[in-house]
Amino acid sequence: MTNADKDRVVIFDTTLRDGEQSPGATMTHDEKLEIAGLLDEMGVDIIEAGFPIASEGDFRAVSEIAKNSKNSVICGLARANTKDIDRCWEAIRHAEQPRIHTFIGTSPLHRAIPNLTQDEMAERIHETVTHARNLCDNVQWSPMDATRTEWDYLARVVEIAIKAGATTINIPDTVGYTAPVESADLIRRLINEVPGGDEVVFATHCHNDLGMATANSLAAVAGGARQIECTINGLGERAGNTALEEVVMALKVRNDIMPYYTNVDSTKIMHISRRVATVSGFNVQYNKAIVGKNAFAHESGIHQDGMLKNAETFEIMRPSDVGLAETNIVMGKHSGRAALRAKLKDLGFELGANQLDDVFYRFKDLADRKKEVYDEDLVALVAAGEDEAKDRLTIKSLRVVCGTGGPAEAKLVMLIDGEEKTVTQSGDGPVDATFKAVRDLHPNDAHLSLYQVHAVTEGTDAQATVSVRLEEEGNIATGQSADTDTVLASAKAYVNALNRLLVRRGKTGEDKREISYKDVS
């Protein structure tokens, strides 16, 4: 990084790698390509597209993202062995700007896993970083669990990696153990005390186990780091990773005390946040900073009065800064196709003619059932209809009878590979009866590990968005759907997840994790 760039913080997004490691967050091939495209468009400097050796599906996704990237550096992850590194290079080599990211666990706990002495691990670091640099000019190296590695040994291996040709040294707080003062001091010492430390870029990769990922990342920047590794919505293992939207907006809003900048177009944040939430099946909590539903909502009378007089009284940033419309224009049953197209464009959706026709049809149907159709309703409509044309299982009709007089009963009509089938089932409540009916028509051993319902907007006529997570033989699939009928939304979400399992079942091993990499950086 040149002196002219010393105030720029490079944003390294790992939603497609570390974020996807969050249990249940696995994305389809097309979804990975879509998210990569959105990251590329919004100005993310580096996209860690995946772990190429993990599976054939991961390799194909990384390779295609590398070929399609227009602006971002495309990075692949590799463990500290030549097989991983060669596979990584094969996947990213067609990118305009490729990067190999290789790592090894350096703390005493992680050194015990491969049973390596300090000297043996040091030799492996030298060999593998050298091998990666012989393939690619842009090499990143990470000492996994760096914040719990002895200082003398961490300094030693960082120096070895720099001498072997690493151009970026990433310091991961793999288990979210450190605190801001330690984070800043560690980066500062590495830059000042390790030979060659002032000639490479130092990065920070923080997990949120103690709720300090964003604070630790910003502290590392104050200590001299110039790359932040993060994910959209803070998606990631356990409590998640540093949230991209939080560090980008913190640097923008508090530039007075943190005089650094990023190249990220913050007005695209809300759209990609919604898309990641949809494709991952991980809804954003209402009070989540920057992108939560309540982030720009005001209910207290004192707050409302202050907002009416001057928005800056209780808002430190404008909704438009992150891509939210200043006013939520309500669509209704009299709204036309042109108005819907314009509204969807404002929300970040550029739909083709056939897609628009489909959404318009379902919008009109929803408008007949609801008094008002809000932005959130439209986002849910777009998400709900994305894959239906390719689905093998489709709900044609559902009739449910329930109450206090006995068990609930569900009469379900489904199309299975184009053939119409009908069944009636009873159960302990309408959702239980419906799910049993689905299993009758499409027998399966998938375990329901998550069933979650939340209202898209307010009111008794609000759409319910239902998220379902299923697990079957090592595969995990999430399904989502929205409808004013909660039971129907539940059935559609359940069937959506089953369709995803069918896709994975048909690709032997392609989307399964063929190796374990749950503790990566």
44-81: b or e for each residue (b if 16 or more CB lie within 10 Å)?
Answer: bbbbbbbbbbbbbbbbbbbbbbbeebeebbbbbbbbbb
Supply angle C-alpha 460, 348, 10, rounded to 5. Answer: 120
Please name every residue paired with 426 in a beta bridge, in sequence order, or none if there are none. 409
271 is in an annotated binding site: no
The beta-carbon contacts of 178-182 under 8 Å, at least 24 apart in sequence, are 178/147, 178/206, 178/212, 178/216, 179/210, 179/212, 179/216, 180/212, 180/215, 180/216, 180/218, 180/219, 181/219, 182/147
- Which of 505, 453, 456 has its CA nearest to residue 477? 505
Give the β-pairing of 73-79 and 46-50: parallel
In the chain, how long is the greatest CA-to-CA distance? 78
Which residue, among 344, 382, 342, has the nearest Cα to 366 in the 3D structure?
382
Residues facing residue 241 across a β-bridge: 207
Closest by alpha carbon to 230, among 212, 250, 205, 249?
Answer: 205
How far apart are alpha carbons 175 and 136 in whole angstroms? 29
- Please list the residues that pair with 450 across neighbouring strands: 469
Ligand-binding site membership of 18 (annotated): yes
The number of beta carbons lying within 10 Å of the beta carbon of residue 387 is 16
Q: Listing from the earlier edge strand, what are the strands of the sheet with 464-472?
A: 447-455, 464-472, 475-483
* DSSP string for 285-350: PTT-TTTSTTTT---SHHHHHHHHH-GGGT-SS-GGGGT--SS-PPB-TT--HHHHHHHHHHTT--
Give the phi and the psi of residue 415 in degrees, each rounded to 5.
-100, 120
84 is in an annotated binding site: no
Report phi then psi at 183, rounded to 5.
-60, -45
- How do strand 73-79 and strand 98-105 relate by DSSP bridges? parallel
| Token pair 């999430």 in the structure block, residue | 478
DSSP class of 412: E
* Residue 440, marked binder: no
Positions at the binding site for Mn(2+): 18, 205, 207, 241
Positions at the binding site: 18, 205, 207, 241
